Amino acid sequence: MQLHADIVTVHTTHPFIIARGGQSEYRVVWVRLVDKDGAEGWGEASPSKFYGETADTVMVALQRFAPVLADADAWSIDAIERELEKAMRWNAAARCAVSAALHDLAAKRLGVPLWKLWGLDANAAPTSSFTIGIAPDEATLRTRVREAAHYPILKIKLGSSWDRDVLRIVREEAPAAVLRVDANCAWTPKQALDMLEPLNRVGVDMLEQPLPPHDLAGLKFVRDRANLPVVADESCLVASDIPKLEGIVDGVNIKLAKCGSLREALRMIAVARAHGMRVMCGCMIETTLGIAAAAHFSPLLDDADLDGAALLSDDPFAGPGIPGGQVVLGNGVGLGVTRR
């Protein structure tokens, strides 16, 4: 197989700001695997500096992966993924782009959507949340919440100096919406404890990663005192992280850009279920190509946060999406993604 990669620059409709910063312009990497017969599989890397990756490091990693793929059997996905990790460890976003392309290629050869290849029920896909990033002022926040009125679940980014006001304003503008909160590691245990009453007052039904990734004792402290589910994101990268989180949090948030492959994501779902944990899948700022890879296993999830492409103003791909919040997979073969 030949590996081709291009950096694609996309823009969010509004600056996407979380507790550790943000921007409006994002560089993702479009990966294409072309087999000897001309058949193609597509994938996308959506790198995060938080995990040590950029579009440029992805391109370097892909150069290291190319020799592994050159003579590989495209059906041997599990073996290829193991070889990629040996060729260059970490670099999860780069590896997951290749993984997605391999799965896309396999399902295309069989003429079925990936969800059908996995034996899943597309009608079981959950409703996705839509994210309200940190806004600079009240007027902007109110406008953004109104613009998201057709999404029944809102995920509120906190970790600013006016978190309590943000909660109040969002609830005023969206009285019927399900509210979830993601602090992106910004709080201390004491701050999280102080925020429990405001969270309960507006009816928040999930608290995601309130503390830094390493503070598992703090997460347990918060979870033991909260009467809403606490979910780990940055504290949980791969399947082997899950057992140590049992009794610490109620659930885990899987992201392909963290775990490195679709097969690892499926392992994470199985391990989390074995430990009686709630399972969700999130995303980075991604195009429809990146979102589609996660969307195809969404019928296995309790919760989804697959709004990365919905936040864009210039998505170059079409395919599975979240119209009105509902994850819709469609019947397109492979990942079901086309270039606009």
Give residue 171's pLDDT. Answer: 98
Give residue 12's pLDDT. Answer: 98
Give residue 306's pLDDT. Answer: 98
Q: What is the average pLDDT score of the chain? A: 98
Give residue 20's pLDDT. Answer: 92
Give residue 122's pLDDT. Answer: 98
Average pLDDT over residues 269-295: 98
Give residue 49's pLDDT. Answer: 96
CB 132 within 8 A of CB 156: yes
Class of the 2-111 domain? alpha beta
**Per-residue pLDDT tens digits for 185-235:** 999 999 999 999 999 999 999 999 999 999 999 999 999 999 999 999 999
Give residue 188's pLDDT. Answer: 97
Kindly give the interhelix angle for 288-295 and 92-110, rounded to the nearest 10 degrees.
70
Q: How many CA atoms does the CB half-sphere of 308 hold within 13 Å?
A: 31
**Per-residue pLDDT tens digits for 38-60:** 999 999 999 999 999 999 999 99
Give residue 94's pLDDT. Answer: 98
Three-state DSSP state, 318: strand
Burial class (CB in 10 A: 0-12, 13-18, 19+), 172: exposed
Three-state DSSP state, 36: coil
Average pLDDT over residues 272-297: 98
How far from chain centre, in Å, is Cα 20? 17
Would you kindly state where each structural domain of the chain is located, as residue ranges? 2-111, 116-339
Average pLDDT over residues 69-85: 97
Give CA angle at 324 (12, 119), nearest 5°. 100
Closest CA to 316 of 274, 286, 336: 286
What's the CATH code, domain 116-339? Answer: 3.20.20.120
Residue type for position 218: G
Residue type for position 243: P
CB 101 within 8 A of CB 33: yes
Taking phi over 0 as left and psi of -120 to 50 as alpha, with beta for the rest, 293 belongs to alpha
Residue carrying structure tokens 């999280």: 192
The order of strands in the sheet holding 278-281 is 130-132, 153-157, 178-182, 204-208, 230-232, 251-254, 278-281, 303-304
Give residue 66's pLDDT. Answer: 98
What percent of the chain clears pLDDT 90, i.e. is strictly above it?
100
Average pLDDT over residues 130-155: 98
Strand-strand pairing, 317-318 and 40-45: unpaired
Q: How many CA atoms does the CB half-sphere of 40 hold within 13 Å?
A: 11
Alpha-helix runs per DSSP H in the chain: 55-70, 77-87, 92-110, 114-117, 138-147, 163-173, 189-201, 216-225, 256-259, 262-274, 288-295
